[in-house]
Amino acid sequence: MTTEEIRTKLATLIAKKVDRRITSEQIEWDSRLRDDLGIDSLAVAELLYEIEETFGTPLEETEPGKLVTLRDAVDAIERGLQLPPAN
Amino acid sequence: MGSSTLKIVPPWKRGGIVPSLRRPQREHRVAVTGIGIVTPFGSDLDVFWNAMLAGRSCISNISRVDTSGFPVHIGGQVADVEPTPFLPELLIRRNDQCTGIGLLAGGLALESSGLGALADERRPISVVVGSAFGASQGLQEVYDSYFLRGWRKMHPLAVTRNMFNSLSSNLSIQYKLGGSHFTVAAACASGAVAIGEAFRRIRHGEDTVVLTGGADAPICGSVLGGWTHLRVLSRNPEPQRASRPFDSARDGLVLSEAAAMLVLEDYEHARERGAHCYGEIAGYGTTSDASHLTAPDSVGQSQAIARALHSAGLVPEDVDLVNAHGTSTKLNDEAESRALRLALGTHADRVAVTANKSMLGHTMGASGALELVSTLFTLRDSVIPPTINYDTPDPLCDLDYVPNHARRSNVRVAIKNSFAFGGENAVLVVRQPEEMLQ
């Protein structure tokens, strides 16, 4: 899976978590999940679950507080994909 | 709809009373100024009321759950909640059905009160709501996930979605209700107890406005299975004929889903702002049978009625209508009939008794609130909805149950009975507001 594919899939997941109408294309690399998109701590918990479902990688080693931007989340998924899958 | 600009003055700021010196000086009268419901008939108050006056049942074959392995296949199901201008899709999706219908009913109640569902700032409005089962569907889902697929596959918001105060928390947050909020768990009396406790908060000057009521969405396999084991669900295969309170052929209750929310308000405050008043909550009484988890006790029930009348400053002869708990089980309907004789004496022969569960099924923790809504409409329209499916009298249930057809009657005072497993008895007294009486 390429970085761009990860970004596209993740942006699609994030767009569904945002209360106001926003498309995945409008989410930029440096969009801040909390401050720009309104992703609160509950939405982060949902997002981490969906990341594991979608990409097959748990982000257990990643502190949710360090996922500030879309780029941070994509980086974390890429790191996760290099680890052996859970179970 | 839209942000509320109405200013609500909390009791401790009214009349310039210094909080530290303040003592309850008097009892405040309590008006119902807003109503919101979600039922198998839908959310429209007129549709709901017209269906009840026409004697229509909302019970159908269950479609949400595969009941093929069950001996019971019928229930009352609400439609999935759709987003509204005050209830975003994200919030609905994040929560269980019970919370979703409660949020919708709560928003509708605030809208109908004129206070508005949405507000820009915290408002001094409290929330007291009840539920028998809470997020029963959500809990079943997480246990399914846990046992079948392990903890990783559990819903990521299993805690916040299913915690018992999920509904009161979400009502408070979504509608900026910053008084206080708590959840009542009193089984099938939850809605009535919530309204009674909300009534007390206003009567004793703790609050000016309280959003209150009940919600339950029990149509899920584990709840259906649990009730089936207790042998209290009707096995009647005809959905609309199954719930038949006080009829000699009754064979059990029918599970149903609903949410009903009321806005209770200090009567003077409501009058000052020109709010519409659906009726006055005049009294509230509770007792515990202290005898058995499931078997009802007429003495305990009759004492709750007596306490409620005492609380309202009324006597049995003042009561025009009893909106019965009337579940359609053998035991409840006999015990309740006896309790009414004990509490009302010879007046029991002159009072009308109606059982809304004949049409609505047993909406569990919502039932006390939803059936109170019907009672408030009776006060307004002077017509009593019938007890349907009443074909053959039971010698042990020997009162006037308003059988099968709505009845014109000027009801000035009514009581709403709600009795629960655990021996919890709650009775509310409502009466026409003063303006209607003149």
Q: How does pLDDT run across B263-294, given as a tens digit for each residue?
A: 999 999 999 999 999 999 999 999 999 999 99
Q: Closest-CA residue in chain A for B90?
A: A19
Q: Are residue B243 and residue B129 in the same domain, yes or no?
A: yes
Q: Which residues 64-93 in chain B show a CB within 8 A of chain A? A: 88, 90
Residue B210 lies in a domain: yes
pLDDT of res. A81? 86
Q: Max alpha carbon distance in chain B (Å)?
A: 65
Statement: residue B18 has pLDDT above 50: no
How many distinct structural domains can be found in chain A?
1
Q: Answer whether residue A74 is part of any domain.
A: yes
Residues B221 and B250 in one domain: yes
Q: Which of B212, B244, B272 is the last residue of a domain?
A: B272
B10 lies in some domain: no
Angle at B46 between CA B431 and CA B95, to 5 degrees: 95
| A56 belongs to a structural domain | yes
Would you call B152 and A45 a contact, using CB atoms and an 8 Å cutoff?
no
Are both B245 and B291 inside the same structural domain? no
Kindly tell me if the per-residue pLDDT of B17 is higher than 60: no
- Sequence-distant (6+) residues with CB within 8 A of B220 are B64, B65, B136, B137, B140
- The DSSP call for residue B389 is T
Q: Do B156 and A19 touch (CB under 8 A)?
A: no
- pLDDT tops 90 at residue B20: no
Within-domain flag for B382: yes
Chain A residue numbers with beta carbons less than 8 Å from the beta carbon of B90 are: 17, 19
Strands B279-288 and B30-38: antiparallel
pLDDT value, residue B13? 64
Nearest to B156 among A46, A86, A87 (CB): A46
Residue B73: Cβ within 10 Å count: 16
Closest residue to B160, CB basis, from A42, A58, A87: A42
SS3 B190: helix
Is the pLDDT score of B2 beyond 70? no
B134-193 residues touching A, CB cutoff 8 A: 152, 155-157, 160
Q: What is the CATH number of the domain that holds A77?
A: 1.10.1200.10
pLDDT at B127: 98
Statement to judge: residues B125 and B185 lie in one domain: yes
| Cβ atoms of residues B36 and B103 within 8 Å | no
Report residue B433's pLDDT band, with 50, 70 and 90 as the boundaries. Answer: confident
In whole angstroms, what is the distance from residue B248 CA to residue B235 CA? 15
A17 vs B90: CB contact, 8 Å cut-off? yes
If you average pLDDT over residues B320-326, what whole number do you get? 98
Same-domain status, B218 and B300: no
Does B326 have pLDDT greater than 70?
yes
Kindly state whether residue A87 falls inside one of the protein's structural domains. no
Chain A residues within 8 A of B160 when measuring between CB atoms: 42
Q: How far is CA B199 from the centre of its chain?
A: 14
Q: State the best of B90, B149, B151, B153 to mutate against chain A, taking most chain A CBs within 10 Å.
A: B90
Active centre residues of B (catalytic):
188, 325, 362
Contacts of B302 (CB under 8 A, 6+ apart): B338, B339, B340, B342, B343
A-chain residues within 8 Å CB-CB of B157? 42, 45-46
Determine, for residues A42 and B90 on separate chains, whether the beta-carbon distance falls below 8 Å. no
Domain for residue B13, yes or no?
A: no
Q: What is the pLDDT along chain A (87 residues), one digit of tens a residue?
A: 899 999 999 999 999 888 667 888 899 999 999 999 989 888 988 999 999 999 998 887 777 788 899 999 999 999 888 855 554
> Are the C-beta atoms of B155 and B145 separated by less than 8 Å?
yes
Three-class DSSP category at A39: coil
B303 shares a domain with B261: no
Q: Is B437 within the bounds of a domain?
A: no
Order across the sheet with B181-184: list the strands.
Answer: B181-184, B125-130, B209-216, B258-266, B30-38, B279-288, B424-431, B413-420, B321-323, B352-354
- On whether residue B14 sits in a domain, the answer given is no
- Give B46-105 pLDDT, tens digit per residue: 999 999 999 999 999 999 999 999 999 999 999 999 999 999 999 999 999 999 999 999
In a domain, A86, yes or no: no
Cβ(B246)–Cβ(B394) under 8 Å?
yes
Distance from CA of A45 to the nearest CA of B (A): 6
Contact B399, B323 (CB under 8 A): no
The boundaries of the domain holding residue A25 are 3-81
| Same-domain pairing of B197 and B317 | no
As a dihedral over the C-alpha atoms of residue B19, residue B21, residue B27, residue B32, rounded to 10 degrees, the angle is 0
B265 and B287 both lie in a single domain: no
Q: What average pLDDT does chain B have? A: 94
For tokens 């074959």, the residue is B61
Tell me the count of A-B CB pairs closer than 8 A.
18
Question: Which H helix or E strand runs over B138?
Answer: helix B136-149
Q: Is there a domain that residue A22 lies in? A: yes
> Mean pLDDT throughout B127-149?
96
Q: ipTM above 0.85?
A: no
Contacts of A45 in chain B (CB under 8 A): 156-157
The whole-number pLDDT of residue B25 equals 65
Give the residue carrying structure tokens 């049995």.
Answer: B316
Q: Please report which confidence band the pLDDT of residue B7 belongs to, taking 50, 70 and 90 as the band edges.
A: confident
Coil, strand or helix at B429 = strand
CA distance B156 to B136: 17
Strand partners of residue B264:
B32, B210
pLDDT of residue B437: 47
**What's the mean pLDDT in B415-419?**
98
**d(CA B78, nearest CA chain A) in Å:** 25
The HSE-up count of residue A55 (CA atoms within 13 Å, CB side) is: 32
Closest CA to B246 of B356, B374, B401: B401
In this predicted structure, the answer to whether residue B8 has a pLDDT above a threshold of 90 is no
Instruction: Please judge whether B156 and A17 are an interchain contact, meaning their C-beta atoms are less than 8 angstroms apart.
Output: no
- B396 with B351, same domain? yes
C-beta atoms of A19 and B88 within 8 A: yes
What pLDDT is stored for residue B438 in this prediction? 39
Mean pLDDT computed over B345-358 = 98
Of B217, B245, B272, the position where a domain reaches its end is B272
B129, pLDDT greater than 80: yes
- B279, B110, B262: which is closest to B198 by C-alpha? B262
Of A46, A52, A58, which is closest to B157 when you measure between CB atoms? A46
- B200 pLDDT exceeds 90? yes
Query: Are B408 and B332 in a shared domain?
Result: yes
Is residue A51 assigned to a domain? Answer: yes
Quick one: which of B185, B137, B186, B182 has its CA closest to B162? B137
Same domain as B316, residue B222:
no
Same domain, B268 and B287: no
A70 in a domain, yes or no?
yes
Residue span of the structural domain in which B203 resides: 30-272
Contacts of B414 (CB under 8 A, 6+ apart): B319, B320, B321, B322, B323, B375, B378, B379, B429, B430, B431
Q: Do A19 and B152 touch (CB under 8 A)?
A: no
Instruction: Give the total number of structural domains in chain B.
Output: 2
Q: Which residues pair with B215 in a beta bridge?
A: B259
Which of B238, B272, B306 lies at the terminal end of a domain, its last residue? B272
Contact B94 A49 (CB under 8 A): no
Q: What is the domain-level CATH number for residue B358?
A: 3.40.47.10
